[in-house]
Amino acid sequence: MTIKVGDTIPETGFVKMGESGPEPVDSASYFKGRRIALFSVPGAFTPTCSAKHLPSFVEKADALKAKGIDEIAGTSVNDAFVMGAWGKSAGTDGKITLLADGNGDFARAVGLEMDGTKFGMGKRGQRFSMVVNDGVVEQLNVEAPGEYKVSSAEHMLEQL
């Protein structure tokens, strides 16, 4: 079942790249007591994800925070090493926390998994964004396959 506005984020794990290496992050603790802008991309270093999606959140980080967002997070079904390298290449430091969903547990738990096997990508997370307020989905924007519109930082800003 696909998550919807008003639902609580399911308890799953992520991994983020810390200064000393990969660090586990549990979703319940991460989303508790804060308003998080979360976006999901099918793959780090893929064309639309690297040229448009991640840069939109880097560029609009201050504007999102001015609208009441405590933290901005991006996730993908990639490992923490890839997500860490992607963040460095895009200048996310201090602006965006990248959360690796290496096994796709989060994408599956929120019902937003996609099948990229015909492209050699395996099971991935769909392209989407959401605002999570104290663990509850406040906004949800899921892209149609092949699209990049409603999950952008610009669209999220219009909604806030």
Catalytic residue among 17, 37, 44, 49: 49
Dihedral, CA of residue 42, residue 47, residue 53 and residue 59, to nearest 10? 150
Q: Can 49 be counted among the known catalytic residues?
A: yes
Query: Taking a C-beta distance cutoff of 8 angstroms, is the pair 99, 16 a contact?
Result: yes
Residue 150 amino acid letter: V
What is the C-alpha separation between 96 and 86, in angstroms, rounded?
11
Enumerate the active-site residues: 49
